[in-house]
Amino acid sequence: MIGEHSLFGPVDPAAEAGYVDPPARKGFFTDTSVCIGCKACEVACKEWNEIPDDGFSLTGMSYDNTVSLSANTWRHVAFVEQPAAPAAATDGAGTVDLGMPGPPPPTSPEGAQATEELPDFRWLMSSDVCKHCTHAACLDVCPTGSLFRTEFGTVVVQPDICNGCGYCVPACPYGVIERRTGPEGAKNVGIAQKCTLCYDRIGDGQRPACAQACPTESIQYGDVDELRERAKARVEQLHEAGVMDARLYGADPDDGVGGAGAFFLLLDEPEVYGLPPDPVVTTRDLPHMFRRASAAAAALLVGAAVAFAGRRG
């Protein structure tokens, strides 16, 4: 059942937070099928938000040097290397033209020789970010009000109010938010940090820095309802092109977080990209748990009172 201030279900997050006549909800649609892994979004995010670097050292496992989202990485570009899909998986052609730069298709005359040199793997690249959930567990558990819902439906940390308790860190079903531990001299050390969807920019009518910097428009910013329609149309386009693995992630208002404000078009299962397959807001069952615990406490109290009365009698 969905009621006032419910912890699950499709709702308007800004209106639910108490805003009167709020603007349209803003968010991201990240189309991973056109991501080229340039990391322009990471750099733009760090520059605009004055986020310290992560150390410039490669992991030894891929070209990814930031590994995951963290207090010092609010946008993370994942590099996933996979064996090339068999021909049967791409409607017999072996490859599907997504309009990306690369060698000519093997069916073309100029591509006949290039076919022998094609790699036997493919890259899946995706720019991950805070999901700005409709039902944000990090916001629910924050004891100081440092995390708040903006009029655009996004979730933002106020560093001057955060006490560094860290309750929000395990509450996030995506593992997005984290307390900053360094480097030495960095601002907001010990404070929870994550993407703000450039609250200071969108309030002035500008696009977030990452979307502004993306050269392929893999990161699209706008009204969430419009982005969802655009995303559905893109999936249909890819299906018609033979890319049957294309699917949306986080765009369903009936999912475990009430739909994400930042959602994705993926070309494989969410786990391949390091995303949970079925995320659920971790505070969803708190009212039910509280009622059960209260009933148990009341039963214990009654039992203790009866036992005490029996002894006196």
| Residues making up the binding site for [4Fe-4S] cluster | 35, 38, 41, 45, 130, 133, 138, 142, 162, 165, 168, 172, 195, 198, 210, 214
Tokens 């990240």 identify what position? 30
Instruction: Please name the residues in contact with 220: beta carbons below 8 A apart, sequence gap of 6 or more.
Output: 28, 29, 30, 31, 211, 227, 230
Tokens 């150390």 correspond to what residue?
55
**In degrees rounded to 5, what are phi and psi of residue 290?**
-65, -45
Longest dimension (CA), the chain: 101
User: Structure tokens of 224?
Assistant: 């969430």
Q: Which residues are annotated as a binding site?
A: 35, 38, 41, 45, 130, 133, 138, 142, 162, 165, 168, 172, 195, 198, 210, 214
Q: Please report, as a single letter, which amino acid is at residue 244.
A: M
